Structure 1
Amino acid sequence: MVKREEHAARPRPVGNPVQLVKEAMHASVSDPVAASMNFLNEVAGRFPDAISLAAGRPYEGFYDIADITRYLDVYVAYLGDQGSTPEQIRRALMQYGRTNGQIHGLIARMLAVDEDIHVPAEAISVTAGCQEAMIMALRGLCAGPDDVLLAAEPCYVGITGAARVLNIDVVPVPEGPDGLDPARVAEVARAVRAQGRHPRALYLVPDFSNPSGRCLDLPARHALLDVAAAEDLLILEDDPYGLFGLDDRPRPRLKSLDRDQRVIYLGSFAKSCFPGARIGFLVADQTVVDATGNRTLLAEELSAIKSMVTVNTSPIAQAVVGGLLVESGCSLKAANVDKIAFYRQNMLRLLDALDRHLPAPWRDAVGISWNVPAGGFFAVVDVPIPADEKLLEVSASRHGVLWTPMSFFYTDGGTRSLRLSCSGLDPDTLEEGVRRLAALLRDSIA
C-alpha cells in the first residue's frame, strides 16, 4: 500500500496546459484605462524612491493599528447598550449577516447629522467599498443593451470600469470650467434618445471631483435636478471628498436637495475612516412597484444583486466603522477634524508650491496653467507638451516624481494635462515633489 505522503510527492505527468486567447476574453480584461493604471503602478514599482503626486490615497500618518480594536470595542459596547446579549453580539460579528448590512441605522443618523439627508435606514445598503455600490446600482438600473449611463467627463475610472465589466455603454458629458453644465446634460440625453437608446442615469462627483477637482455651485445643483426630472434621469451622486473643502461654507449634497427621489447617493468610509476597512454604502430610497402592485425600496431590490456578488459585507469591518460612528456621535465631520485641516493645508501647499516653482511670467509665456480647486485631493495642470506615458517614464526615471496623465480619464482628450494629488504626502515631501515636477517641465519644454 502506497503511503499518502509518497503518493503526494510523485511528480505530476506533463500534460497539455490550457492556453487562453486574450482576444476571446471579455473586453474588461483588456480595458485600456486599466492597462494605463497598471502602467502607472509598474512605473511606481520600478522607481520606488520617486515621490508620488499620482496616488489619491489618504495620508497614512492618521492611522494606528490600535484604532481597529478601539472602534471594535466601542461598537460591541454599543450593541450591549442596545440590549443585545453576548450570544447575539458574537453572532452579529462572526456569522453571515443581513445582506444590506447592520450599521445602516448609524449611517442614516450620520447622513441626517452631517448632510441634512433624511432617509429610512432600510434605504441604505452597506457595501464592500463604494465600488460594489456602483456595480449594484448600474446592474439594477441598466437592464437592456440600449440602456446607457451618462457620466461627467473627465471621469473617475472606477465607474467606467464597472460599466465595462457589465457591458453598459458610457456616454460622456464634458465638464466646463465650472463643472458639469446642466444644459449640456439635457443636450446629451436628448441626443442619446434620438439614437434609439435609453439614458438611464447620470454619474458625477459634485464636490471636488476626481480627477478635475471641480465643484458645482448651488444654482447648478438645482438646475441639474430640474434637468433630471425633465429628462427622466436618475442621478448617481458619488461623494468621497465632500468633507474636505478649503472652507466651511455649506455645500448641500444633491441628495439633500432631492425632492423627487431622483438621486442615488454613493458614499465611502475610505477617506474618512481608512481604506482597508473596505466599507461603502448606497442610499436608494426610490420606490419600486412590481406587476402586482407590491411596493418596495430600491435598496431592498438591489440586495438581490449584492447577495450574488459578496453575499454580505464583512460584519467585522462594519463593526470597526460602526465604532467610529458611535464614538463621534454619528458625525464624520466631528471624527475628521484633524484630517480636514491636514488636507486643506496640503491643497494650499500644493497650489502655493506650483506658484513658486513655476513662476509667472515664465509659465504664462510657455503656456502652463492650473485650476484652483475649492477642496478635495486633486488639481489639474495644463502644459504645452504631451503629458503621456512617455513623459511619465522620463519623469520617474530622471526626476523622481510621479503624476497621472489626464488622458486616463477621457474617452478622447486630456493629452496635455496632468493630475496632481496632494493627499498622501507630508507637506515637505509634497513641496519637493512639486519642485521635481517643475524641473521636469522646464527641461522638457526647453
Structure 2
Amino acid sequence: MATELAREDLHASVSDPASASMNFLNEVSARFPDAVSLAAGRPHEGFHSTDDLDRYLRTYLAHLEGLGLDADQRRRQLLQYGRTNGHLGVLIARTLLLDEGIEVPAQAVMVTTGAQEAMVVALRGLCAGPGDVVLAVEPCYVGFTGAARLLGIEVVPVPETADGLDPEAVLAVARAVRAGGRRPRALYLVPNFANPSGVSMPVPARRRLLEVAAEADLLLLEDDPYGLFGLDEEPRPTLKALDTGQRVIHIGSFAKSFFPGVRIGFLVADQAVTDAQGRRTLLAEELSTVKSLLTVNTSPVAQALVGGFLVESGCNLRTAVKEKTEFYRRNLRTLLAALERSFADEPRVRWNAPAGGFFAVVEVPMTADENLLEISGRDYGVLWTPMSFFHAGDGGRRALRLSCSALEPDRIEEGVRRLARLVRERADTPDPAGPGRAAVAADPAAPAGSRDPG
C-alpha cells in the first residue's frame, strides 16, 4: 500500500493561509491567461534580454582581472562553492553609499538568495527563545509573515495608517508585548512605497521611529525594494541612512533594479556582537552560520551577473535605472488617472495615491475575497489581489491591491475599466443611511481617493 500522510501531521507552514492564498492567485492567473492582471507585482519584462547575460558576465570577469585575480582564481570564484556571505560586499557597500548615503563596511553585507532568504536569516538569528517575537506593519508582505511562520516565530501586528507606521503605536505595542512576558526583538516594515499598501513614511516619522527603537530596545528590519521608483525626486532617506545607533538591519534586492531571475538580495547588519570573552564581530558575520545551513552560499554565477551590472553602472543605481523609473512613474500615473475616470461617480469606491512604487489600494463596496476574484477573472477578465491576504485577522475584506508594474499603459486602463464594470454589477446593495465615503473615512487606516486626499 502506498504511504499516506495526514495533513495535520505536517508543519503548520504547509497549510499556512497566506501561502495558500498566494498559490490560489497563481492558479487563477493560470486558469485565466487572457485576463488583464493587475495582481502581479513583478517588474516589467522589457528592460533586459538574454543577450545581456554574456555582457554582464564578461564585465565582471574583466573587473576581477583588474583586481589582480588570475585565470584560475577567476574560474574558481565563479564555478566553485564560495564565501558564505558572498563576494559582492565591496560593490554593494559602494552602491549604498552613492545611492543612499549609507556608509557600512563590506564585511557588514551578506549576499543572499533573494531578499526572502535575508528575512529568514535575520529572523532565525535574532529570535533565540520561545518568548521572542517580531512586530510587523499590517497589512504586511506575505513573504515576511510566511517566513516567520515557517520558523515558528510569532508576528505581532502594528496597524498602518494612511501615513505609514505611527511610531507611538510601535512603542505601545512593544511595551504591551514586554508586559505580557515576551521579548520583542525586531520590527519589520517597508518605509518606501510599501507592499501592499503603497504608503510611505514621512521623514519626521522615520526619525521618531529610530528613537522609539532605542527606547523599546528593538531592531528595525527595513525592506526597501521600491525606494528607487518615486514619482518625483523628493529625498526619502532610508532608515539605515538615518541610523546613528545601528538599530537598522537593511534588506535589499536586485529583483526590481536588475531582474528577478537573478535571485540576488542582501542584508546589511553592521551591529557589533560581543561574546563571553569580549571578542567583537559584526552581526552579518555571525549570521553567516545560519545562511550556510540554508543555502551554503549564494550562486557565484548569479552574483557575477549583478556584479557586472554594478560595475557597468559605476555602482550608481539611481542613474542606471532611470529608464525603469520613468516607466514605473508613467504606469502609476496611468493607474491613478484610470481610477479617477472609472470611479468618479462612485463615492463608495476609494483609493490611495502613492508617491511611487508599484501598488495602490482600492476600497470597494463588496467583499473582495477569493470567490469574487474567481468571478472577476472568469466573467470580467481582470485579476487583482485581495487585501485580506496581507492581514493576520479579518482586515482588508473590502479592499484590493492593484499593481501597475508589469503592464503597458493601455492594458492598465483596460484592466481598470473591467474592474469598474465588476464593481458596478457586483456591489452590495447601498445602505439606506448612505455609508459610502463617511464610513470609509472613519477608518484612520483607510486609503483616500485621489479626488479626496484626506
Would the TM-score normalized by the shorter structure come out above 0.5?
yes
User: What amino acid maps onto 2:228 in structure 1?
Assistant: L
2:227 to 202, 224, 242: 242
Q: Provide Cα deviations, 1:235-272, integer angstroms capped at 9, x if missing partner.
A: 00000000000001110000000000000000000000
1:408 to 382, 385, 389: 389
User: What amino acid maps onto 2:405 in structure 1?
Assistant: S
Residue 364 of structure 2 corresponds to: 383
The secondary structure found in structure 2 opposite 1:221 is helix
User: What amino acid maps onto 2:366 in structure 1?
Assistant: I
Higher Rg? 1
2:414 to 432, 436, 440: 432
The 2-side partners of 1:243 and 1:39 are apart by 30
Residue 176 of structure 1 corresponds to: 161
| 1:420 corresponds to 2:395 | no
1:231 to 201, 204, 216: 216
The secondary structure found in structure 1 opposite 2:222 is strand
User: What amino acid maps onto 1:137 in structure 2?
Assistant: A
The secondary structure found in structure 1 opposite 2:361 is strand
TM-score computed with the length of structure 2 as normaliser: 0.93
Residue 17 of structure 1 corresponds to: 2
Residue 259 of structure 1 corresponds to: 244
The 2-side partners of 1:40 and 1:314 are apart by 29
User: What amino acid maps onto 1:443 in structure 2?
Assistant: E
The 1-side partners of 2:255 and 2:296 are apart by 21
Q: Provide Cα deviations, 1:180-228, integer angstroms capped at 9, x if missing partner.
A: 0000000000111111000000000000000000000110000000000
Residue 80 of structure 2 corresponds to: 95
Residue 74 of structure 1 corresponds to: 59
The 2-side partners of 1:177 and 1:434 are apart by 23
The 1-side partners of 2:328 and 2:52 are apart by 20
Deviation at 1:40, TM superposition (A): 1.0
Deviation at 1:378, TM superposition (A): 0.2
User: What amino acid maps onto 2:399 in structure 1?
Assistant: S
Residue 363 of structure 1 corresponds to: 346
The 2-side partners of 1:358 and 1:395 are apart by 17
1:351 to 320, 325, 336: 336
Q: Provide Cα deviations, 1:88-136, integer angstroms capped at 9, x if missing partner.
A: 1000110111110001110000000000000000000000000000000
- Aligned pairs (5 A) from 1:23-422: 23-359=8-344, 362-364=345-347, 367-412=348-393, 413-422=395-404
The 1-side partners of 2:26 and 2:117 are apart by 22
The 1-side partners of 2:355 and 2:130 are apart by 38
The 1-side partners of 2:378 and 2:60 are apart by 47
TM-score computed with the length of structure 1 as normaliser: 0.95
Deviation at 1:332, TM superposition (A): 1.0
Q: Structure 1 runs of 4+ off > 2 angstroms?
A: none
The 1-side partners of 2:227 and 2:115 are apart by 15
The 2-side partners of 1:279 and 1:44 are apart by 25
The 2-side partners of 1:285 and 1:38 are apart by 36
Residue 6 of structure 1 corresponds to: none
Q: Provide Cα deviations, 1:31-88, integer angstroms capped at 9, x if missing partner.
A: 0011111111111111111110000000001121111111111000111111110111
Contact 2:335 2:413 in 1 (8 A): yes
Q: CA RMSD in A?
A: 0.7
Structure 2 unaligned segments of length 5 or more: list them.
430-454
Residue 11 of structure 1 corresponds to: none
Contact 2:365 2:423 in 1 (8 A): no
The 1-side partners of 2:346 and 2:170 are apart by 34
User: What amino acid maps onto 2:404 in structure 1?
Assistant: C
Residue 12 of structure 1 corresponds to: none
Deviation at 1:384, TM superposition (A): 1.3
The secondary structure found in structure 1 opposite 2:165 is coil
Residue 450 of structure 2 corresponds to: none
Deviation at 1:177, TM superposition (A): 1.4
User: What amino acid maps onto 1:288 in structure 2?
Assistant: V
The secondary structure found in structure 2 opposite 1:246 is coil
The 2-side partners of 1:63 and 1:88 are apart by 29
The 2-side partners of 1:157 and 1:291 are apart by 37
The secondary structure found in structure 1 opposite 2:357 is coil
Percent identical residues: 66
The 1-side partners of 2:207 and 2:121 are apart by 26
The secondary structure found in structure 2 opposite 1:62 is coil
